[in-house]
Chains A and B, each alone.
Chain A
């Protein structure tokens, strides 16, 4: 949420938004990756189906609606977020490093990551819940892990992308300096590669966190078939409030969440951002140095210095020690013919695995499905797609002009930007009950009035990216437009809109991805015993989750993943490429 004070390269934006833009890899790998990921999801699901029957939670913890219970719930929720963030970091270091260092792994890992980014998280939540519950039967650890895993999947992919891209763009001279001083791979990783990747990684961590609140709320209370899970946390609190039609409790939850997010920002992210400023790779002093009172406190207090000093020394010893004798860099030779043979062997293994999982998937799912069902799902998909696109356009019409007007006024930007970032982080699903209450009260059409919920939380990405774009508009350009009397519609069409285009696209991509994910909870909502559903793929997935119908659920997830991938490839990536080319000088 302190993104305004962090300098971010276009690559970081891209990492968050759509991963690799100009894919160097053949699209055949993308297909293999798609088959692999969907195959694993469906197989997990089918496996899970056989396990659901005996599963029961012996001690279902009681959720209390008393406001006094909320602080503890907020702490539990926050701890889940933290656990997921640590898991995401470890995953990032391992996965992205493997992809960046090994050409053979890269051609599989990167397309897989790309597909993973497009799979609706709340769609496969039921599979993973069943899976983790069956790992620790009768224990609360299972659902706990499932919730953490759901948050992890909402955070890890873009962090891994960002780290991978940083690893691939480490400046050659720094790499050669490290090699000529004979640093070991371990030393190089911690003294060169991680620091170089740090600004992008921190920015993506913040974006991940801000997306994560939505999923932690959604994953704490979940019903798969007969399995009812409610983990102590803000999400379960709201779920119970909805069941009991308790609007006051919803209000308390919103308040608790607001305070939690603000504290999280102040106590965790601002210090991290202020600290990570020193990792900026540019050699020019930054215009705005991010500050944090918490970090200042840490740096100044003598107690912290006493505790911190030995800690730093240990860390330094660990990270800079030579774990291995120096690698013989010159031993790297051009690939031999045997290397090519290994390549083909590797391709064959990947192709075979993809083929096997996809046939297994079809054999597993096909008997339960008919072509009519496929047609129905496709129809639902098109409805949801239309909804997402219309909403993005509407939100753009509102927020682009506002964002530009705010961004051009530095003082207003300072006020509005943190607010926009807070709103983007706030889990919109906490606000659903209020909207549903209104719809029920005034008997509004669900197909139309449930739709805005999808974009309720993600529209802010458009706003704050546009603000960022407009405030980065060079002063020279402003003066030039004034001096040449460029005004009115021409000013918008020829100056401002092209200038903010790359930023806008980044925001729109994030908003669209978020809207797809939100559709699973936004197209089907309830208030007490009243269930409201709109026609759409999200509602379909939600219905199949509740019914525990895994083949149909798999079909729904696969369709949504495919649609998200296709929208990214056919709409967003070309737009992003155009944006990047147009705004480049030279």
Chain B
């Protein structure tokens, strides 16, 4: 703890900041059906001090929401300690408020009542509750909307209610769980700049903010420091200080540098985590649709990238967030259509070739790579060929995978393999009967193709 405080103090030398929340060696695991623990968060050490906005970045499923809810007292950690103002955290404390991605407004309460409900827990006098609620509504620019129901106002206004509700209780720490991701680009930007401005001017009645996001630019735009989580299980991969002055300019080279740096950290961790092909059928597959992957190949092959793309650039040109882009990039890397190195995606020879092909040729090439790089796909084809009726129930593979993976992961892997196999015309899948079927049950073009695919290097 002392060490952490010391390092904090050295980072912001103005005054010694008071820690609001201190996490040390926090781990969180859920029990699998088998009773085995499934770790979600491992060894999280994090301090949030007064006067800072901290960004928590990571891909979907990296446990950042779990971490936010642990800090909010909604979830208790399996091990490790969480201190709020130096005291162990037991349940949601009075000084922490959450802003939700989905707004979490009560549809049957008016704007004013939705803000008041946060104050109900403080055992204040009626007129005191009313005064504070109106002050928060006024601050956040919702004047005139007090008696509207959430369904009557736009998404941006709804999230403003979410902010007003959190601010009304004048929290020490405001936790924001991807608060802008359900809004359209323009509305989100307005809300972001409004918030940062009020924060800079000291008009927000709070001491610090933790912003969970998967939008790298958003983090660089708003935060003093970005904490990056790696996935499966979540642990802190890096902490990057963002010492840029406000207002920040997205076109500023130093801004771009920081964005690239964070992309680098995230992809670096990805490559380590994704197991290399050829080992076993129990391999985690990214949730990426075949069609979208082919679309990404086309985008990378075309100018201005010409077979080699900077991920940050690519994301911006496609208007993708990292949760859209990374699964596709992972998939291409896995299928050896592209190389994913630190922050860059480079097409392989086959990848570049695929971009120029017709649909049928693409499918054939995709099938070759699929059988070569994804042992599970090869296994499915082999099982279907071995069986006389060329059919196999999903359960058969599900159980096989569950020897090594959690049921949810096994399910996800099967979904991906079904999507890829269908595109490649390697096999089909009947959703009603939950069975895999050979694409062409009789020995037609399918089988020799597969044989040759397996034979080719």
A interface residues, Cβ below 8 angstroms from B: 171, 173-174, 176-177, 179-184, 187, 191-192, 195, 198, 278-285, 320, 322, 326-334
- A177-B98, A198-B108 are known contacts; what are 6 more A-B pairs with Cβ within 8 Å? A181-B118, A183-B117, A278-B107, A278-B149, A285-B151, A330-B73
Question: What 1/0 mask marks residues of chain B from 100 to 118 whose CB sits below 8 Å from any chain A CB?
Answer: 1111111111000000011
**Can you pick out 17 interface pairs between chain A and chain B where the beta carbons lie within 8 Å of each other?**
A171-B104, A176-B98, A176-B104, A179-B74, A181-B97, A183-B120, A187-B121, A191-B117, A282-B107, A322-B123, A326-B91, A327-B91, A328-B90, A329-B73, A330-B73, A330-B89, A331-B90
With known contacts A174-B106, A176-B98, A279-B108, A182–B91 Cβ distance under 8 A: yes
Distance between B179 CB and nearest chain A CB, rounded to angstroms: 12
Distance between B67 CB and nearest chain A CB, rounded to angstroms: 14
Whether A192 and B76, one on each chain, are in contact in the complex, defined by CB atoms closer than 8 angstroms, is no
**In the complex the two chains form, what is the Cα distance from A173 to B105 in whole Å?**
9
**In the complex the two chains form, what is the Cα distance from A198 to B96 in whole Å?**
30
- Which residue of chain B has the shortest Cβ distance to A286 in the bound complex? B151
Size category of the B interface is: 35 or more
**In the complex the two chains form, what is the Cα distance from A280 to B107 in whole Å?**
7
Distance between A183 CB and nearest chain B CB, rounded to angstroms: 6
Whether B96 and A180, one on each chain, are in contact in the complex, defined by CB atoms closer than 8 angstroms, is yes
Distance between A76 CB and nearest chain B CB, rounded to angstroms: 36
**In the complex the two chains form, what is the Cα distance from A285 to B148 in whole Å?**
12
**List of B residues within 8 angstroms of A329 by Cβ:** 73-74, 91-92
Verify if B135 is at the interface (C-beta below 8 Å from A): no
With known contacts A180-B98, A182-B91, A285–B152 Cβ distance under 8 A: yes
Whether A330 and B120, one on each chain, are in contact in the complex, defined by CB atoms closer than 8 angstroms, is no
Interface of B is mostly: loop
Whether B104 and A187, one on each chain, are in contact in the complex, defined by CB atoms closer than 8 angstroms, is no
- Which residue of chain B has the shortest Cβ distance to A322 in the bound complex? B123
Verify if B234 is at the interface (C-beta below 8 Å from A): no
Q: Point out the residue from B104, B108, B123 that lies within 8 Å of A173, measured CB to CB.
A: B104
**In the complex the two chains form, what is the Cα distance from A37 to B90 in whole Å?**
43
Verify if B6 is at the interface (C-beta below 8 Å from A): no
**In the complex the two chains form, what is the Cα distance from A187 to B122 in whole Å?**
13
A-B residue pairs, 8 tightest by C-beta: A173-B104, A177-B104, A330-B76, A182-B121, A328-B91, A195-B108, A329-B91, A330-B91
Whether B158 and A283, one on each chain, are in contact in the complex, defined by CB atoms closer than 8 angstroms, is yes
Whether B102 and A278, one on each chain, are in contact in the complex, defined by CB atoms closer than 8 angstroms, is no
With known contacts A173-B104, A283-B158, A285-B151, A180–B73 Cβ distance under 8 A: yes
- Which residue of chain A has the shortest Cβ distance to B149 in the bound complex? A278
**In the complex the two chains form, what is the Cα distance from A322 to B108 in whole Å?**
20
**In the complex the two chains form, what is the Cα distance from A180 to B169 in whole Å?**
11
**List of A residues within 8 angstroms of B149 by Cβ:** 278
Distance between B159 CB and nearest chain A CB, rounded to angstroms: 12
**In the complex the two chains form, what is the Cα distance from A332 to B74 in whole Å?**
10
**List of B residues within 8 angstroms of A327 by Cβ:** 91
- Which residue of chain B has the shortest Cβ distance to A278 in the bound complex? B108
Verify if B72 is at the interface (C-beta below 8 Å from A): yes
Whether A173 and B91, one on each chain, are in contact in the complex, defined by CB atoms closer than 8 angstroms, is no
Verify if B185 is at the interface (C-beta below 8 Å from A): no
With known contacts A187-B120, A191-B106, A330–B151 Cβ distance under 8 A: no
- Which residue of chain A has the shortest Cβ distance to B107 in the bound complex? A281
**List of B residues within 8 angstroms of A332 by Cβ:** 76
Q: Point out the residue from A176, A181, A195, A331 that lies within 8 Å of B121, measured CB to CB.
A: A181
Distance between B121 CB and nearest chain A CB, rounded to angstroms: 4
**List of A residues within 8 angstroms of B415 by Cβ:** none
**Chain B 50-81 residues near chain A, CB threshold 8 A:** 69, 72-76
**In the complex the two chains form, what is the Cα distance from A351 to B90 in whole Å?**
38
Verify if B442 is at the interface (C-beta below 8 Å from A): no
**List of B residues within 8 angstroms of A177 by Cβ:** 98, 100, 104
- Which residue of chain A has the shortest Cβ distance to B82 in the bound complex? A330
Distance between A214 CB and nearest chain B CB, rounded to angstroms: 33
Distance between A312 CB and nearest chain B CB, rounded to angstroms: 12
Verify if B150 is at the interface (C-beta below 8 Å from A): yes
Q: Which of B72, B100, B120, B123 has the most CB of A within 10 A?
A: B120
- Which residue of chain B has the shortest Cβ distance to A335 in the bound complex? B31
Verify if B273 is at the interface (C-beta below 8 Å from A): no
Whether A173 and B117, one on each chain, are in contact in the complex, defined by CB atoms closer than 8 angstroms, is no
Q: Which of B108, B121, B151, B169 has the most CB of A within 10 A?
A: B108
- Which residue of chain A has the shortest Cβ distance to B100 in the bound complex? A173
Distance between A174 CB and nearest chain B CB, rounded to angstroms: 5
**List of A residues within 8 angstroms of B1 by Cβ:** none
Distance between B342 CB and nearest chain A CB, rounded to angstroms: 36
Whether A173 and B89, one on each chain, are in contact in the complex, defined by CB atoms closer than 8 angstroms, is no
**In the complex the two chains form, what is the Cα distance from A191 to B110 in whole Å?**
12
**List of B residues within 8 angstroms of A192 by Cβ:** 106
Whether A284 and B91, one on each chain, are in contact in the complex, defined by CB atoms closer than 8 angstroms, is no
**In the complex the two chains form, what is the Cα distance from A279 to B109 in whole Å?**
9
